[in-house]
C-alpha cells in the first residue's frame, strides 16, 4: 500500500469495526445499519438503484464483507440483507 489514502481507509475500517453496533438484546434498525456500514465504501444511493432477490442481496453483501473487507459482522450482514431484501427486493 503506497497510497496514503488507502492507509487512512484501512485505519477507518478498523476503527469503525471496533465500535459495537448494539449491545445485549437491543434491536438494530436495518436501515440505519445499512446506511452506516455501506456508506463507508460507496455512495449510499448506489445499492438502492438495484432490485435483487434475497439470494442476490446475500451474495452482494457477503462479497462486500469477504472480498472487499467491509467492516460488517455476520449478524450485521444478516440484518442488512433482511433490510435490502424487504425494501429493494424483487
Q: Give the range of the structural domain holding residue 58, as residue numbers without chain letter.
A: 4-88
**Into how many domains does the chain fold?**
1
Mean pLDDT of the chain: 87
- The model's pTM is 0.69
Q: For the chain, what is the total number of helices (H) and then of strands (E)? A: 5, 0
* CATH number for position 10: 1.10.760.10
pLDDT digits (tens, 9 = 90+) for 6-39: 777 778 777 776 666 555 555 679 999 999 999 9
State the pLDDT at residue 9. Answer: 78
Give the number of other CB atoms < 10 A from CB of residue 51. 12
Q: Which of 1-5, 34-38, 44-48, 86-90 has the lowest mean pLDDT?
A: 1-5
Amino acid at each position: 500500500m503506497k497510497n496514503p489514502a488507502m492507509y487512512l481507509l484501512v485505519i477507518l475500517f478498523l476503527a469503525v469495526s471496533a465500535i459495537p453496533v448494539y449491545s445485549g438484546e437491543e434491536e438494530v434498525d436495518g436501515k440505519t445499519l445499512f446506511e452506516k456500514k455501506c456508506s463507508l465504501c460507496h455512495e449510499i444511493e448506489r445499492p438502492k438503484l438495484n432490485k435483487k432477490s434475497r439470494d442476490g442481496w446475500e451474495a452482494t453483501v457477503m462479497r462486500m464483507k469477504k472480498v472487499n473487507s467491509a467492516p460488517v459482522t455476520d449478524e450485521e450482514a444478516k440484518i442488512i440483507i433482511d433490510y435490502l431484501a424487504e425494501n429493494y427486493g424483487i
